[in-house]
């Protein structure tokens, strides 16, 4: 029998959908920004030209946005999605800034 | 909320596809038209129906044209709040003069940026724009809307909603949802490979609509994915993830300084006035160097930076007619002496990938067959989204009719608005373009603005009609607006071709046979083909509507 999993349905379904869409759009954007920042900073540190690092950062950022957007809707526990996206995004962006401060 | 992964993906596909599909329709359709933006411009501005011209001589033609340029009163008024103190009567400090053309442009676009005294942001420039006839330097009236490159193209990526770049953000998010819809669409369907070859037009409407949705989605999947992704990448660093201007400004600054050192191209004026050597000689030298490197070519973009200053330089870029990658191969000269300062080095591997991807989206290269395939791909995308709407309605309308839910009725009316309504709006613009007099009373909006207002008015009217006629959908019948608007489309497309003939004398016998001019002939032929398709569609929709009514009345009789 295929494994069925239930997504937390407590509370109003409308509120739940709003929270999920919010996580996908806002959390996803923040996370994508973080991926972008850390990629650009690390590739710059590795000696890549700025606009090359920027292009690869953008590419990874957009693809990461797509993946976490889909994951947000597939994930079982929404609080975990919010936690991963916000803290992960902040951590990645912070690392980007830290690498930059070390380079410039 | 969702019982399974597949169900979650189906929910995402349905609802995000529905809400943002309307935006995506516009992006795909006007993107498809933008493939021939220059040709549509020729149709809309009859006095520019001439053959494409190479970049003209700077000394003979461009210099006098540049010297005549000044920002419009409208641009000056818009700038006023960002300046401390009064605006000057004349802008004298030229930051840059530039001219741009492609292998499809008979007219030349000129840009002039001036320094603004006492601007709050010292880096901000005020811009003047002009379009000239490159044969004689004659200024073309600026109030004429370039319908293709000046309206359909920006509509395609920004909906012409310029306030805080809102339109660019909406289209960008929709592009992300296009990617999500493609991935979730693939996950939803187990038998993807078989659906590749499945189309059952004779089956129940629900089944054949879904077949067509899958077919157009799957066959052109690489095309759709590629265009949504590269569209996002083209704008990513400027709008969606402006890291270089914000969080990673330090890295960007470091790069700019290193680049200025390396290239020797001054970032700012020296504030020492200096003369200008012969620019035509610089252009000839640039072409000689391209020829030497085995890539002889025409000039696409000519830029004079810091005009009249000792730090001034002239950049000559090559037109990308013969390669997919959007490359410049720029060669930069010292303005006062004409000596070469710097030659752009060959692109890095990453830059080559990036240039190839953006080049494939923006297609400045010359390849007419590929250009038509792009149109086909764009229209396939629009068909995929439109059949998605219809499937949404067909699947629910029985249930909704039973429960009195108006959902499918609203979605169906919106689908009419975005499918046939969008065509009506487009044709309104073309017809109005041929009907409005050349000169309008001074108190009126400019001719171009009026054309745009009427475009939106035509669309609003089509929407109103779609909603007014939508009642039958709530009773599980078809909306007659579909066939009525198809008829309107075919009549309007014919009218546009006729009006082009009447107002300019350019009919198809002339533009195809006696004096071939493909930009106008192509638009006319495309309009005629659309009229024929819309007539067939109207006929079949009418027949189905009749059959529907018959079936319902027999059903009622049996009951």
**Alpha-carbon torsion B205, B211, B217, B219, what sign?**
negative
**Alpha-carbon torsion A31, A37, A43, A48, what sign?**
positive
Dihedral, B195, B199, B203, B206 alpha carbons, nearest 10: 60
Distance (Å) from the C-alpha of residue A52 to the closest C-alpha of chain B?
6
Cβ contacts (< 8 Å) between A17 and chain B: which residues? 1
**A1 has a pLDDT exceeding 60:** no
Task: Count Cβ–Cβ pairs < 8 Å, chain A vs chain B.
Answer: 112
Give B138-141's long-range contacts (Cβ < 8 A, gap of 24+): B139/B65, B139/B68, B140/B45, B140/B47, B140/B48, B140/B107
Helix (H, G, I), strand (E, B), or coil: what is residue A21? helix
Of B181, B60, B469, B377, whose CA–CA distance to A70 is shortest?
Answer: B181
What 3 state SS string does A46-87 have?
CCCCHHHHHHHHHHHHHHHHHHHHHHHHHCCCHHHHHHHHHH
Distance (Å) from the C-alpha of residue B157 to the closest C-alpha of chain A?
17
Chain B interface, mutation test: which of A59, A75, A103, most B Cβ atoms within 10 Å?
A: A59
Contacts of B102 (CB under 8 A, 6+ apart): B38, B52, B300, B319, B321, B364
Q: What is the pLDDT of residue B198?
A: 67
Instruction: Tell me the percentage of chain A whose pLDDT exceeds 90.
Output: 83
Whether B384 contacts B32, CB under 8 Å: no
Asked if the C-beta of A31 comes within 8 angstroms of chain B's C-beta atoms, the answer is no
Residues linked to residue B93 through DSSP beta bridges, in sequence order: none
pLDDT digits over B89-117, tens only? 899 999 999 999 999 999 999 999 999 99
Is B5 close to A74, i.e. CB distance below 8 A? yes
Is A33 close to B4, i.e. CB distance below 8 A? no
Asked if the C-beta of B19 comes within 8 angstroms of chain A's C-beta atoms, the answer is no
Of B381, B30, B361, whose CA–CA distance to B221 is shortest?
Answer: B381
Chain B interface, mutation test: which of A4, A23, A66, most B Cβ atoms within 10 Å?
A: A66
Of B543, B412, B452, B440, whose CA–CA distance to B161 is shortest?
Answer: B452
Whether B95 contacts B128, CB under 8 Å: no
Taking the C-alpha atoms of residue B486 and residue B489, their distance in angstroms, rounded to an integer, is 5
Is A69 close to B180, i.e. CB distance below 8 A? yes
Under the banding of pLDDT at 50, 70 and 90, the label for residue A59 is very high
Distance (Å) from the C-alpha of residue A17 to the closest C-alpha of chain B?
9
Taking the C-alpha atoms of residue A44 and residue A38, their distance in angstroms, rounded to an integer, is 10
At B297, list the tokens. 């070519």
Q: What is the pLDDT of residue B557?
A: 60
Taking the C-alpha atoms of residue B36 and residue B149, their distance in angstroms, rounded to an integer, is 9
Cβ contacts (< 8 Å) between A69 and chain B: which residues? 176, 180
Is A40 close to B243, i.e. CB distance below 8 A? yes
Asked if the C-beta of A102 comes within 8 angstroms of chain B's C-beta atoms, the answer is no
Q: Which of B3, B179, B241 sits opposite A61 (nearest CB)?
A: B241
Whether B108 contacts B100, CB under 8 Å: yes
Asked if the C-beta of A10 comes within 8 angstroms of chain B's C-beta atoms, the answer is no
**DSSP secondary structure string for all residues of B401-459:** HHHT--HHHHHHHHHHHHHHHHHHHHHHHHHHHHHS-SS--TTSPPHHHHHHHHHHHHH
**Domain boundaries, position B93:** 52-145+261-362
At B23, list the tokens. 């935006």
B105 CB burial (10 A radius; 0-12, 13-18, 19+): buried
Task: Work out how many domains chain B is built from and give that number.
Answer: 1
**Alpha-carbon torsion B342, B348, B354, B359, what sign?**
positive
Highest mean pLDDT among B85-89, B477-481, B492-496: B492-496
Radius of gyration over every alpha carbon of chain B, rounded to an integer in angstroms:
27
Please list the alpha-helical segments (H only) found in B335-367.
349-362
Of B439, B427, B544, B531, whose CA–CA distance to B486 is shortest?
Answer: B531
pLDDT digits over A80-91, tens only? 999 999 999 999
Asked if the C-beta of B237 comes within 8 angstroms of chain A's C-beta atoms, the answer is yes
Cβ contacts (< 8 Å) between B351 and chain A: which residues? 49, 51-52, 55
CA distances from B215 to B22, B186, B247, B388 (A): 20, 12, 43, 11
Cβ contacts (< 8 Å) between B172 and chain A: which residues? none
* Mean pLDDT of the residues in chain A: 90
Range with lowest mean pLDDT among A55-64, B139-148, B380-389, B508-517: B139-148
Cβ contacts (< 8 Å) between A96 and chain B: which residues? 243, 247-248
Q: What is the pLDDT of residue B556?
A: 61
Asked if the C-beta of B450 comes within 8 angstroms of chain A's C-beta atoms, the answer is no
At B253, list the tokens. 């600054």
**ipTM score over 0.85, yes or no:** yes
Under the banding of pLDDT at 50, 70 and 90, the label for residue B222 is very high
CA distances from B246 to A41, B123, B142, B172, B497 (A): 13, 17, 36, 20, 50
Range with lowest mean pLDDT among B154-168, B199-213, B335-349, B412-426: B199-213
Whether B531 contacts B71, CB under 8 Å: no
Is A54 close to B243, i.e. CB distance below 8 A? yes
Is A55 close to B350, i.e. CB distance below 8 A? yes
**B4 has a pLDDT exceeding 50:** yes
**Alpha-carbon torsion A45, A49, A54, A59, what sign?**
negative
* Mean pLDDT of the residues in chain B: 92
CB neighbourhood size of B161 (10 A): 15
Helix (H, G, I), strand (E, B), or coil: what is residue B476? coil
Give the pairing type, strands B108-115 and B331-334. Answer: unpaired
Query: Does residue B389 lie within any of the structural domains?
Result: no
What is the phi/psi pair of residue B313, to 5°? Answer: -145, 160
CB neighbourhood size of B332 (10 A): 22
**B194 has a pLDDT exceeding 70:** no
At B122, list the tokens. 């010292």
**B29 has a pLDDT exceeding 90:** yes
Is A96 close to B233, i.e. CB distance below 8 A? no
When pLDDT is averaged across residues B253-276 and rounded to a whole number, the result is 92
Under the banding of pLDDT at 50, 70 and 90, the label for residue B196 is low
Exposure letters B432-453 (e unless 16+ CB within 10 A, then b): bbbeeeeeeeeeeeebbebbbe
Taking the C-alpha atoms of residue B196 and residue B215, their distance in angstroms, rounded to an integer, is 6
Q: What is the pLDDT of residue B493?
A: 98
Chain B interface, mutation test: which of A18, A55, A101, most B Cβ atoms within 10 Å?
A: A55
Asked if the C-beta of A26 comes within 8 angstroms of chain B's C-beta atoms, the answer is no
Distance (Å) from the C-alpha of residue A25 to the closest C-alpha of chain B?
9
Is A57 close to B243, i.e. CB distance below 8 A? yes
Taking the C-alpha atoms of residue B493 and residue B223, their distance in angstroms, rounded to an integer, is 28
Residues linked to residue B98 through DSSP beta bridges, in sequence order: B111, B303
pLDDT digits over B522-557, tens only? 999 999 999 999 999 999 999 988 887 777 777 666
pLDDT digits over B331-358, tens only? 999 999 999 999 999 889 999 999 999 9
Under the banding of pLDDT at 50, 70 and 90, the label for residue B323 is confident
Under the banding of pLDDT at 50, 70 and 90, the label for residue B289 is very high
Chain B interface, mutation test: which of A27, A58, A93, A99, most B Cβ atoms within 10 Å?
A: A58
Asked if the C-beta of A39 comes within 8 angstroms of chain B's C-beta atoms, the answer is no
* Interface subset of B 353-372, CB within 8 angstroms of A: 353-354
Cβ contacts (< 8 Å) between A50 and chain B: which residues? 244, 251-252, 254-255
Q: What is the pLDDT of residue B322?
A: 82
Helix H or strand E encompassing B333: strand B331-334
pLDDT digits over B438-487, tens only? 888 888 888 999 999 999 999 999 999 999 999 999 998 999 999 999 99
Is B255 close to A50, i.e. CB distance below 8 A? yes
The residue of chain B with its CA nearest to that of A44 is: B251
Name the one residue in this structure whose structure tokens are 């470091």. B254
- DSSP designation for B143: T
Taking the C-alpha atoms of residue B252 and residue B258, their distance in angstroms, rounded to an integer, is 10
Distance (Å) from the C-alpha of residue B93 to the closest C-alpha of chain A?
30
Q: What is the pLDDT of residue B199?
A: 72
Asked if the C-beta of A62 comes within 8 angstroms of chain B's C-beta atoms, the answer is yes
Residues linked to residue B418 through DSSP beta bridges, in sequence order: none
Q: Which of A52, A62, A93 sits opposite B348 (nearest CB)?
A: A52
Taking the C-alpha atoms of residue B330 and residue B83, their distance in angstroms, rounded to an integer, is 34
User: How far is C-alpha B116 from the chain's CA centre?
Assistant: 31
Name the one residue in this structure whose structure tokens are 């660019």. B168
CA distances from B2 to A9, B107, B156, B223, B265 (A): 9, 57, 35, 31, 59
Asked if the C-beta of B204 comes within 8 angstroms of chain A's C-beta atoms, the answer is no
**A6 has a pLDDT exceeding 70:** no
Is B251 close to A41, i.e. CB distance below 8 A? yes
Cβ contacts (< 8 Å) between A65 and chain B: which residues? 176
Cβ contacts (< 8 Å) between A12 and chain B: which residues? none
């Amino acid at each position: 029998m295929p494994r069925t999993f239930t997504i937390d349905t407590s509370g109003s379904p409308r509120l739940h959908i709003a929270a999920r869409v919010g996580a996908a759009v806002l959390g996803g954007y923040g996370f994508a920004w973080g991926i972008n920042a850390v990629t650009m900073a690390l590739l710059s540190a590795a000696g890549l030209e700025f606009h090359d690092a920027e292009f690869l950062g953008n590419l990874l950022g957009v693809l990461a946005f797509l993946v976490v957007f889909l994951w947000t809707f597939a994930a079982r526990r929404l609080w975990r999605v919010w936690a991963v996206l916000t803290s992960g995004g902040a951590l990645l962006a912070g690392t980007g800034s830290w690498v930059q401060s070390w380079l410039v | 909320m969702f019982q399974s992964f597949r169900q979650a993906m189906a929910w995402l596909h349905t609802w995000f596809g529905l809400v943002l599909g309307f935006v995506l329709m516009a992006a795909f359709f006007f993107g498809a038209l933008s493939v021939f933006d220059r040709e549509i411009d020729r149709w809309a501005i009859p006095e520019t129906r001439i053959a494409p011209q190479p970049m003209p001589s700077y000394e003979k033609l461009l210099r006098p044209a540049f010297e005549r340029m000044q920002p419009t009163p409208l641009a000056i008024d818009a700038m006023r709040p960002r300046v401390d103190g009064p605006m000057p009567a004349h802008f004298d400090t030229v930051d840059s003069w530039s001219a741009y053309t492609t292998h499809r442009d008979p007219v030349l676009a000129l840009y002039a940026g001036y320094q603004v005294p006492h601007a709050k942001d010292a880096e901000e420039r005020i811009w003047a724009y002009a379009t000239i006839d490159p044969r004689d330097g004659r200024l073309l009236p600026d109030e004429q809307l370039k319908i293709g490159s000046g309206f359909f193209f920006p509509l395609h990526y920004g909906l012409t909603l310029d306030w805080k770049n809102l339109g660019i953000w909406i289209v960008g998010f929709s592009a992300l949802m296009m990617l999500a819809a493609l991935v979730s669409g693939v996950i939803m369907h187990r038998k993807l490979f078989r659906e590749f070859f499945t189309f059952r037009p004779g089956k129940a409407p629900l089944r054949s609509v879904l077949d067509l949705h899958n077919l157009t989605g799957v066959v052109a999947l690489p095309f759709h994915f590629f265009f949504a992704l590269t569209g996002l990448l083209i704008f990513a660093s400027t709008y969606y993830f402006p890291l270089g201007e914000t969080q990673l400004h330090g890295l960007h600054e470091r790069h700019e300084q290193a680049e200025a050192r390396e290239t020797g191209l001054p970032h700012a004026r020296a504030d020492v006035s200096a003369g200008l050597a012969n620019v035509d000689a610089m252009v000839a030298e640039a072409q000689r160097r391209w020829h030497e490197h085995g890539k002889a070519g025409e000039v696409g973009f000519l830029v004079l930076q810091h005009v009249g200053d000792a730090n001034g330089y002239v950049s000559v870029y090559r037109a990308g007619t013969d390669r997919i990658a959007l490359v410049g191969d720029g060669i930069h000269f010292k303005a006062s002496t004409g000596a070469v300062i710097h030659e752009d080095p060959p692109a890095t591997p990453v830059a080559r990938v990036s240039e190839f991807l953006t080049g494939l989206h923006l297609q400045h290269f010359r390849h007419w067959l590929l250009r038509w395939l792009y149109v086909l791909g764009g229209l396939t995308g629009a068909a995929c989204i439109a059949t998605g709407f219809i499937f949404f309605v067909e699947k629910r309308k029985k249930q909704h009719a039973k429960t009195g839910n108006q959902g499918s009725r609203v979605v169906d009316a919106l689908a009419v608005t975005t499918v046939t309504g969008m065509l009506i709006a487009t044709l309104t613009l073309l017809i109005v373009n041929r009907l409005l007099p050349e000169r309008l009373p001074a108190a009126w909006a400019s001719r171009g603005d009026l054309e745009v207002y009427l475009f939106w008015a035509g669309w609003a009217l089509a929407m109103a009609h779609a909603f007014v006629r939508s009642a039958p959908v709530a009773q599980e019948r078809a909306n007659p607006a579909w066939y009525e608007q198809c008829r309107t489309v075919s009549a309007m497309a014919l009218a546009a071709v006729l009006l082009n003939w009447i107002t300019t004398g350019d009919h198809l016998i002339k533009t195809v046979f006696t004096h071939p001019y493909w930009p106008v002939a192509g638009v006319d032929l495309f309009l005629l083909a659309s009229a024929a398709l819309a007539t067939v569609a109207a006929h079949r929709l009418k027949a189905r509507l009749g059959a529907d009514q018959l079936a319902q009345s027999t059903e009622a009789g049996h009951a």
